[in-house]
Copies of this chain bind each other. A is one copy, B any other.
Amino acid sequence: MNTIGTLLRLTLFGSSHGPGVGCVLDGVPAGLEITVEEIQREVDLRRPSMYIGTPRAEADMVEVLAGVNDSRTTGAPVVLFIANRDTDSSKYERFRTVPRPGHADLTARNKYGDAVDLRGGGQFSGRMTAPVVAAGAIAKAMLATAGIQIAAYTQQLGRLVDEEERYLRDVRRTSKENPVRAADPGLALEMVNEIMAAKEEGDSLGGVVRCLAVGLPMGVGEPYFDSLESELAKMLFSIPGVKGVEFGSGFRGAGMRGSENNDQFIIEDGEVRTITNNAGGILGGISNGMPVDIRVAFKPTASISREQKSVDLERMEDTTIKIEGRHDPCIVPRGVIVVEAATALVLADMCLRGDFIAREHR
């Protein structure tokens, strides 16, 4: 369903072409300082860039409907709402009958029947990630009180791969300064060109977002089914378009030997640290104090303007489809802030569960 989390619980609602999208974030400790501007700043980072994104021009103004008073949380659930304004549903009626390849049109209609709202992707739209980002701003503020920082960047876009080892301090700002969220300005330029090229050919691109979390103390994560990896993966795979998640050396590590992949321990500045970080900061499902290192694979945008084979569900016969609408040729750049928010929400919940962030006033 549309709720996730144990002590910090997020409930998403809305649809792409209904009145708006929003969320309820329950479990935020009372007294946290948070302004609408901070939330808005994060949500703005999700907006499409002029040249490389969708022409749909949503202002995405965040309204706080509950839970915050005088820029402080009250302990009651926080409700954030983002009205939809620039909706154009005219082109979606056809997709009920002729589903778009790579989209949820077919499966959603099968599951919910005639009453399903497919306009703009309905509740399956990437637009549902806007309230995730808004809620993520609050989670980040919670984590900041415990000295935990999160930053993600576009590590791969189509065939372009950022091969450099990067640290949070390097990517934190740079990735927000270019429209593709690359860690390096030179690479950013190449990536922009790659997107423009795909767009011109009526095609789309996928990519990989890498997300780092630094400052997480040792001990965050619960045993077995609520391991840090389990909880993060559940959240990350809920982001539309995500088809792969790995931690540390991940799939690459599967080809390594234990002697290469094991992170050996040393004492450094009086703390236990590991020499390498192939575990991605997580041992036995519990944080080990090293940076949490996550890679998230996004498939190429399903909506492309090239002609594709599809079927007419009424006549049950083959046909073709050309999708017009307004779409991003690549969602990876916008996915960067969504991955950060999703990660922040899970880490904040897990920090509450592990008593690393106080839930009560005392």
Contact = CB atoms under 8 A, between A and B. Distances in A.
Interface of A: 1-4, 6-7, 9-15, 18-22, 24, 26-27, 30-31, 64-67, 69, 72-77, 79, 81, 99, 101-104, 106-108, 110-117, 122-124, 128, 156, 158-159, 198, 203-208, 218-219, 221-227, 229-231, 233-238, 240, 242-251, 253-267, 270, 272, 274-275, 278-280, 283-288, 295, 297-304, 306, 308-311, 313, 316-318, 353-355, 358-362
Nearest to A300: B258
Interface of A is mostly: mixed
Contact of A235 (B225, B259, B278, B354): B225
A104 B30 contact: no
A278 to B, nearest CB: 8
A108 B303 CA distance: 46
B117 A74 contact: yes
A77 B230 contact: no
- Count copies of this chain in the complex: 4
Contacts of A306: 259
Contact of A265 (B99, B208, B288, B353): B99
Nearest to A119: B69
Nearest to A202: B259
Contact of A111 (B75, B159, B251, B260): B75
Nearest to A273: B311
B223 A76 contact: yes
Contacts of A279: 102, 243, 299
Given A208-B251, A224-B238, 18 more contacts: A1-B27, A2-B76, A2-B224, A69-B115, A69-B117, A72-B115, A76-B122, A99-B265, A101-B262, A106-B272, A111-B354, A112-B361, A225-B235, A230-B233, A243-B280, A262-B308, A265-B309, A267-B317
